Amino acid sequence: MGALNQTMVINRPVEEVFAKTVRMENSPQIMDQVEEVTKLTEGPVSKGTRYEEIRNLGGRRVRSELLVTEYEPNRSYAVSSEQNGVQITFRYTFRPEGDGTFITFEGDIQTKGLARSMFKGMIVRMISKEELFHLQRLKKYIEKQDAGSDQVEESQH
């Protein structure tokens, strides 16, 4: 897909890994730069669900709207955002592997306009550095949780 590609096995069943990955409200506990995530749409997570995310980027609070663009339970999930001529898509795929889950994280970065295109390499490097250990942090977060704790929470939304 693009600039960011990572794979990892998480030692939990695919249903649990998927449920915890798609629960964007967990992002501040997984990603250093994310301060807050608020779900903007009603109902369970599905294609079309929107979130507001606030990240701390070098001391600046940056707000983004995230849109779920792909949602196939226990198989794939994608979220995209666009801000200031930069579109970012993060896509996860899941498949059972033994008692665990093989997860792939792909990130794609597109720029619009001449000015953003000129800085695309720098933007890709900055985001790549930010997301370098994304799956490692996700694995640590999921494996330290009690099995099924977010599945109950998700069903209440």
pTM reported for the whole predicted model: 0.80
Domain assignment of residue 153, yes or no = no
Q: What is the mean pLDDT of residues 112-123?
A: 68
Domain assignment of residue 55, yes or no = yes
How far is Cα 15 from Cα 51, in angstroms, rounded to an integer? 22
> Whose CA is closest to 91, among 71, 65, 63?
71
Domain assignment of residue 156, yes or no = no
Whole-number pLDDT of residue 112:
77
**What is the biggest distance separating any 2 CA atoms in the chain, rounded to whole angstroms?**
48
Domain count, the chain: 1
pLDDT band of residue 133 (cuts 50, 70, 90) is confident
Structural domain of 125 = 4-147
Domain assignment of residue 87, yes or no = yes
Domain assignment of residue 157, yes or no = no
CATH number, domain of 142, equals: 3.30.530.20
Tell me the per-residue pLDDT of 6-48, one tens digit each, with 9 for 90 and over. Answer: 899 999 999 999 999 999 999 999 888 899 999 999 999 999 9
